[in-house]
Amino acid sequence: GAGVSQSPSNKVTEKGKDVELRCDPISGHTALYWYRQSLGQGLEFLIYFQGNSAPDKSGLPSDRFSAERTGGSVSTLTIQRTQQEDSAVYLCASSLVGPPSDYNEQFFGPGTRLTVL
């Protein structure tokens, strides 16, 4: 597609349920990133995929969070046993190449707004 797409755009769930968020990067982009933005805050890095390399999971806040990227394209972020503090907008980005390349301009999707009741 022309840009990064994410689904669903909004997700309301009950505390304790699992949720899956999907990201479809720009075609041909090898690097994919997940971020979280809590209300009125900046963006917090979660996880980064580069090609077929092992992902950089250093930003995941707990072991309830996991992500996978199938076939080097679409990615799914899974949050198990959701908590109210997980409520946020989850943003996905992709770049043509990833770090440590000198050129890795990131392009963002519209985000998924997650509300945990």
Partner 1 sequence: GIQVEQSPPDLILQEGANSTLRCNFSDSVNNLQWFHQNPWGQLINLFYIPSGTKQNGRLSATTVATERYSLLYISSSQTTDSGVYFCAVSPGDMRFGAGTRLTVKP
Judged by the rule CB under 8 A, the positions of this chain that interact with partner 1 are 33, 35, 37, 41-45, 48, 56, 58-59, 89, 91, 93, 99-108, 110-111, 113
Residue showing tokens 């250093």 = 58
Report the nearest approach of partner 1 to the CB of residue 2 (Å): 14
Report the nearest approach of partner 1 to the CB of residue 62 (Å): 18
In this structure, the dihedral spanned by the alpha carbons of residues 34, 35, 39 and 41, taken in order and rounded to 10 degrees, is -170
Closest to partner 1 by CB, 80 vs 106, is 106
Residue 32 to residue 12: CA distance in whole angstroms: 25
Closest to partner 1 by CB, 64 vs 107, is 107
Closest to partner 1 by CB, 14 vs 100, is 100
In this structure, the dihedral spanned by the alpha carbons of residues 19, 2, 52 and 111, taken in order and rounded to 10 degrees, is -30
Report the nearest approach of partner 1 to the CB of residue 48 (Å): 5
Q: Which amino acid is at 18?
A: D
Closest to partner 1 by CB, 3 vs 16, is 3
- With a CB cutoff of 8 Å and minimum separation 6, the contacts of 71 are none
Report the nearest approach of partner 1 to the CB of residue 116 (Å): 18
Instruction: Supply φ then ψ for residue 84, to 5 degrees.
Output: -60, -30
